[in-house]
Structure 1
Amino acid sequence: MQTEDMIATDEFCINHNIEIDFINSLNNSGLIEMTVVEEKSFVPASQLHHLEKMVRLYYEMDINVEGIETITYLLQRMNTMQQQIVQLSNRLALHEDE
C-alpha cells in the first residue's frame, strides 16, 4: 500500500505534542480512519484538517472523545440540513420563475 497520501500517526503526535492514545481512541470510536502498514499506523492526509480540529477540541477546550463524537455528529447533521435547504431553495426558485 502506498503511504504518499498518508500521515504517520507517531510523527503527527510528535509535531502536535499529543499522545498516541488520543489518536487510537479517535480511531476506536470511528472518528478517524487509520491504516497500518508494516506495523506503522497512518492517517489519510484527507482527514488531517478534521483530525486537527479534534485535537484542538480535546486539548484546548477539554472536550472528551464522547463529546467530540457528539459535536462531529451534530455538525454532519447541520451540513446535511444546509444542503437540503439549498436544494429546496433551488427547487422553489425554479417554480417561482414559471
Structure 2
Amino acid sequence: MSHSEYIPVPELCKHYCITQTFFEELHDKGVLQIVSIEHTNCLHQESIPTFEKIVRISEDLHINMEGIDVILNLLDTVDNLRNQLNATQNRLRLYE
C-alpha cells in the first residue's frame, strides 16, 4: 500500500468543514478505519464514499453516531439482499 492511497484527516476536515473529533468518534465506533501515517491520521481513499454518506446522514438528518452505524448496517443488508435477489432471478430465468 502506498501512502498516496491515503488522505490526511486534517485535509478532509478542511474540505468537509468537519472536526477531527468527528473522525475520532467514527473510528472509535468502528464505522471508519483511520490509519496513522507519519504521525498524521489518514483515511483510505476507498473509504471516501462511505465517509460522504456518513456526512450526509449526520448533517442532513441530524443522526447521532449510533444511528449512523445502524443506518450503514441496514444499507449493507439491503445491498446484500438486492444482490441475492438478482442472483436468484438470474437462476430462475434459466428454467423459463
TM-score range (shorter-chain normalised) is: over 0.9
**Normalising by structure 1, what TM-score?**
0.91
Distance 1:53 1:77 in 2: 16
* Structure showing the higher helix proportion among its residues: 2
Corresponding residue of 2:34: 34
Residue ranges of structure 1 left out of the alignment (5+ in a row): none
Distance 1:81 1:73 in 2: 12
Residue ranges of structure 2 left out of the alignment (5+ in a row): none
Distance 2:60 2:79 in 1: 24
Corresponding residue of 2:70: 70
What's the RMSD between the two structures over aligned residues? 1.1
Larger Rg: 1
Q: Percent identity?
A: 28
Distance 2:32 2:94 in 1: 39
- What letter matches 2:43 in structure 1? V
Is the aligned partner of 1:61 residue 2:61?
yes
Is the aligned partner of 1:16 residue 2:2?
no
Is the aligned partner of 1:88 residue 2:88?
yes
Per-residue deviation at 1:59?
A: 2.3
Count of residues paired in the alignment: 96
